[in-house]
Homo-oligomer: A and B are copies of this chain.
């Protein structure tokens, strides 16, 4: 897929996990950036450096509720010998009224309000009588109830140095500073910063829209009656949830019956809202594996770059896999096997990294650790295939849950890790060190 070169591997080539993953990840490109409102950009990757248009704070302002004063007027002030100043008015946060503090004057000022011309510092209200004439107070009286507080006199009991309790213009950031680098993932604090510098929108790589559909005539919607020979569809639910967990906007399409035309038209319908398509089932060697049959003819078959290739991978579970692009827009499609554990493990190994690549994120893979195998007996693994067993990981130890069977959903639901057994290993003894993929 990734190259215009003719393939050097034939249809019977057994792909390694790494070969398949490389082919997939070199084909998929990050989504084009779009401009989003701040809260829609949460979790997304910033594509441009962000510089500051206007310094923060935009003006000198008070860090306390108190009185804006001239320092000379309060030098030497004490509880015994307070400085007594004329209050010329209030400076509230958001206030745009011009107010000047002259010699012997003070302005009552609120946290965040601009330091008025003439004033050099702020005296916290707790160092004053709050205009009440009765010793130090704990708080101002509410303006709405006591409008007279904005006038009269105030006693100040302590001196202040110039600039005390004043946040200088530009002390947070200065106009022209680069405050966020391209490639930053936007969390709450980065969104706070973007809002604080006045950005209502931001250019990011959007979350990919992932369409998940399962295939199989045996599948019944959970909650409905299970007829003979039928099972409940679990893959479309599990992979929709997993796609969201990976950062995608995921759309679950109900299970599609094993009919090539139905599947083809369903996929064609879904293309309009898909940055990535994920199917489960119908990729193996059976006579009803319609995903294979259907997917070579989706969208405009004459377009170069289209088509899905079906492969055998040297892994367990997850041997049969399909990958390619469909439709005129070459939407990537991963066709996963239908056994629930195979589908889930394949999602973790291949689809999650694709979603994160589409988002442009730096770390597309789950973290891995080395751990000691805690097990009652040796684990057997098929020669020549990389095995991914389900396990639970705690403090450097990993314990298998359930067996190797790819239908063991209950054990999967207990697992928080995958134990990796390499291709050349057929048995792992208890106490041995193994590689573990942490799922959570």
Residues of A within 8 A of B (CB): 12, 38-39, 42, 54, 56-59, 63, 65, 90, 92-96, 108, 110-114, 125-126, 138-146, 149-150, 167, 171-173, 177, 179-180, 187-201, 216-224, 226-235, 237-242, 244-245, 252, 258, 260, 284-290, 292-293, 338-340, 344, 405-413, 415, 439-440
Q: Are B234 and A196 in contact (CB under 8 A)?
A: yes
CB distance from A204 to the nearest CB of B (A): 13
Q: Are B188 and A239 in contact (CB under 8 A)?
A: yes
Q: Are B140 and A410 in contact (CB under 8 A)?
A: no
Which residues does chain B contribute within 8 Å of A114, judged by CB atoms? 228-229
- Report if A286-B111 is in contact (Cβ < 8 Å); known contacts: A92-B258, A222-B198, A241-B39: yes
Interface of A is mostly: loop
Q: Are B407 and A180 in contact (CB under 8 A)?
A: no
Query: Of all chain B residues, which has the CB nearest A225?
Result: B198
Bound-state CA distance A92–B232 (Å) is 16
Most chain B CB neighbours (cut-off 10 Å) among A197, A223, A285: A285
Bound-state CA distance A293–B139 (Å) is 13
Count identical subunits in the complex: 2
Q: Are A93 and B344 in contact (CB under 8 A)?
A: no
CB distance from A43 to the nearest CB of B (A): 9
Q: Are B94 and A409 in contact (CB under 8 A)?
A: no
Of B108, B227, B413, the residue contacting A179 (CB under 8 A) is B413
- Report if A192-B340 is in contact (Cβ < 8 Å); known contacts: A140-B287, A142-B287: yes
Bound-state CA distance A201–B221 (Å) is 11
Q: Are B198 and A223 in contact (CB under 8 A)?
A: yes
Which residues does chain B contribute within 8 Å of A140, judged by CB atoms? 285-287
- Report if A408-B172 is in contact (Cβ < 8 Å); known contacts: A111-B338, A113-B229, A189-B344: yes
Of B173, B217, B233, the residue contacting A410 (CB under 8 A) is B173
Which residues does chain B contribute within 8 Å of A406, judged by CB atoms? 63
- Report if A287-B188 is in contact (Cβ < 8 Å); known contacts: A231-B196, A237-B39, A244-B42: no
Query: Of all chain B residues, which has the CB nearest A233?
Result: B195
CB distance from A282 to the nearest CB of B (A): 10
Which residues does chain B contribute within 8 Å of A113, judged by CB atoms? 218, 229
Bound-state CA distance A269–B301 (Å) is 56
Bound-state CA distance A189–B240 (Å) is 11
Which residues does chain B contribute within 8 Å of A39, judged by CB atoms? 237, 240-241, 252
Q: Are B57 and A218 in contact (CB under 8 A)?
A: no
CB distance from A362 to the nearest CB of B (A): 14
Bound-state CA distance A240–B199 (Å) is 16
Of B65, B193, B229, B260, the residue contacting A286 (CB under 8 A) is B65
